[in-house]
């Protein structure tokens, strides 16, 4: 449908977070899917004497047309739907995706026509950003992750991985306000506010 662009180029409410790509010269120790064709993890080590592995959260790239449709859908849905209440997340996801599908079909001329793979990518990012954990969603859905920690801005988010223990990720908060907002969002999701 057009050239793919990097995830970092996607306009989103997550501008204060960097998701660094997997460098080509890193040795991949393990790779596994979180959501088939949409999100995966690679555990890799940098070249040289450093042997500390890094956890890479990787998501399917979007075409420019998919990004435009995603942004318009987010704008419409944020005005049309109520935020989910704690404990009602699964129902909220279902309503979000059903409503998004109806809007995509109804406004096909404006938003564009997409094949099933493109729709799946758009819906994945909608769910991730509107009811999930944004760029940290892959980590939160990874059953091998037992703990997540962030020591502040410009420091990688760390995970406690069942097989690799404490390792850095490719995700870095670069804006204090975005980190604070994310912490507040987590508190609301866990009803700890």
At 156 the pLDDT is: 96
Asked whether residue 114 is assigned to any structural domain, the reply reads: yes
At 191 the pLDDT is: 62
At 2 the pLDDT is: 47
> Which single residue is written with the structure tokens 């819906």?
123
Q: What is the mean pLDDT of each successive set of 10 residues along the chain, which is 193 residues long?
A: 45 74 95 96 91 94 91 88 73 87 88 92 92 90 95 95 96 92 79 54
Asked whether residue 124 is assigned to any structural domain, the reply reads: yes
At 44 the pLDDT is: 96
Asked whether residue 37 is assigned to any structural domain, the reply reads: no
- Read off the pTM: 0.85
Asked whether residue 174 is assigned to any structural domain, the reply reads: no
At 10 the pLDDT is: 44
Asked whether residue 125 is assigned to any structural domain, the reply reads: yes
Asked whether residue 3 is assigned to any structural domain, the reply reads: no
At 84 the pLDDT is: 66
At 7 the pLDDT is: 44
At 5 the pLDDT is: 43
At 40 the pLDDT is: 96
Asked whether residue 15 is assigned to any structural domain, the reply reads: no
Q: Give the chain's domain count.
A: 1
For 102, the domain range is: 64-135
At 123 the pLDDT is: 94
């Amino acid at each position: 449908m057009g050239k793919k662009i990097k995830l970092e180029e996607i306009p989103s409410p997550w501008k204060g977070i960097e998701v660094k790509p997997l460098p080509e010269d890193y040795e991949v120790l393990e790779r596994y899917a979180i959501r088939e064709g949409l999100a995966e993890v690679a555990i890799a080590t940098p070249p040289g004497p450093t042997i500390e592995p890094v956890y890479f959260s990787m998501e399917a790239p979007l075409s420019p047309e998919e990004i435009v449709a995603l942004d318009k859908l987010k704008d419409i849905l944020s005005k049309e739907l109520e935020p989910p209440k704690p404990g009602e997340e699964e129902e909220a996801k279902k309503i979000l995706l059903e409503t998004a599908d109806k809007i995509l079909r109804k406004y096909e001329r404006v938003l564009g026509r997409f094949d099933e793979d493109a729709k799946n990518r758009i819906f994945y990012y909608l769910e991730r950003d509107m009811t999930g954990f944004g760029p940290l969603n892959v980590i939160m859905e990874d059953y091998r992750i037992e703990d997540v920690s962030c020591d502040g801005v410009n420091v990688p988010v760390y995970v406690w991985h069942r097989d690799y223990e404490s390792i850095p990720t490719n995700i870095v908060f670069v804006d204090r306000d975005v980190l604070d907002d994310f912490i507040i969002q987590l508190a609301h999701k866990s009803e700890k506010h």
